[in-house]
Amino acid sequence: MPDWKASPTLTDLQNYVSQMEAERGFEHQSVQDKCLLLGEETGELFKAVRKAQGIATDPESHVGEVGDELADVLIYLCAIANRCGVDLEEALRLKEVKNHARRWS
């Protein structure tokens, strides 16, 4: 298992996901595979939020915990960024510069 830093940056998380995927044999999955898996995990997150908010869910289906599903979404997001050569930390900083210049109403 790759090492964790006490307070990881987004770049650290991306590096962790890259190492974890190699260790588990997932590095061969394409960006399309990861996007589809992200979509599935996003649906699972929504279901977990529904459950946590007391909104009815199918009693026969498995519903995870919000924290677990958020972690899965973050893992797939990092995996997609890695495959696309995107530094999420830098992308977030640049996007926030653009957002700061926007007018929000």
Q: Which pLDDT score is estimated for 5?
A: 82
Q: Which pLDDT score is estimated for 4?
A: 80
Q: Which pLDDT score is estimated for 58?
A: 86
Q: Which pLDDT score is estimated for 37?
A: 98
Q: Is residue 81 part of a domain?
A: yes
Q: Which pLDDT score is estimated for 74?
A: 98
Instruction: Show the domain range for 35.
Output: 10-101
Which phi and psi (to 5°) does residue 87 adopt?
-85, 105
Q: Is residue 5 part of a domain?
A: no
pLDDT of the chain, 105 residues: tens digit per residue: 777 888 999 999 999 999 999 999 999 999 999 999 999 999 999 999 999 999 988 888 889 999 999 999 999 999 999 999 999 999 999 999 999 999 988
Q: Is residue 1 part of a domain?
A: no
Which CATH number fits the domain that encloses residue 70? 1.10.287.1080
